[in-house]
Amino acid sequence: MKLPFYINNFLSETGSISRFITRFFGQLFHPRYEIRQFIRQCYLIGCLSFPLIAITGFIMGLVLTMQLRPSLIAYGVESQLPIMVSLAIVREIGPVITALIFAGKISSGIGAELGSMKVTEQIDAMEVSGTNPFKYLVVTRVLATTLMLPLLTVLSDVISLYGSYLGVNIKGHTSLQLYFFQVFHTLQFSDVLPALIKTVFFGFAIGIIGCYKGYNSSKGTEGVGRSANAAVVISSLFIFIIDLVTVQITDILGLN
């Protein structure tokens, strides 16, 4: 039976990604460990993404608060603004928006970098020189994205909450102490931990899709651009799919 082209292409792509993931886990626990490269990638992926994440997080908290305020005033529950904003940021908006920004910056960067290395046969050269390119290029980057995104999300949440605090104080007055007391009084482990765990999966998806697209890039420089674009699109889509699955799981576990 011959399947339609797009279905065939989709299934083929899914199978290739699965093989790529399997290969990643296969390489992950076998020496030699590329520690220095991993740390460098953590720096490049984590530290250099922080300013962008911080700015977007700050604006997100501020805007969300200013947008929610009129509705809450209409219901006479303006004092609940810190509680609502903190829950929204920590549970959903913080992780998802941070992951999307991160995907836009990192996944495309990895896709383009590995794609250009592929089309310029640098990866083949590494193999010839005795370096395991998968371990050196893919494992380090995927590990870095997996570990850095949760940290970036935590920092982004805090900056968003500070932005929200400023948003609350634009038309009202709440002390920083009272604001953060209300926030931490509202938050529970069931709010923080599922959100933190899902960012690990977001990070892994962003890294693995970026690496896969770059590592399997072809057709010259045109293919590099296409790989970078596809990496962003697919990793963004994966973020929402993982988010949906996480919400279902936390709901089943009674954590919502």
- Report the interface residues with other proteins, using CB under 8 A: 39-40, 42-43, 46-47, 50, 77, 150-152, 154-155, 158, 184-185, 187-189, 192, 196
* Closer to other proteins by Cβ: residue 17 or 155: 155
* Closer to other proteins by Cβ: residue 58 or 134: 58
CA 81 to chain centre: 27
Residues 112 and 227: beta-carbon distance below 8 Å: yes
Shortest Å, Cβ 22 to other proteins? 29
* Closer to other proteins by Cβ: residue 63 or 151: 151
Shortest Å, Cβ 79 to other proteins? 9
- Of 28, 16, 9, 161, give the one whose Cα is nearest residue 84: 161
Shortest Å, Cβ 57 to other proteins? 12
253 burial class (0-12, 13-18, 19+ CB within 10 angstroms)?
exposed
Longest dimension (CA), the chain: 70
Shortest Å, Cβ 63 to other proteins? 22
Q: Which residues contact 24 (CB under 8 A, 6 or more apart)?
A: 134, 138, 139, 142, 208
CA distance 211 to 106: 10
* Closer to other proteins by Cβ: residue 142 or 231: 142
* Closer to other proteins by Cβ: residue 151 or 247: 151
Shortest Å, Cβ 102 to other proteins? 14
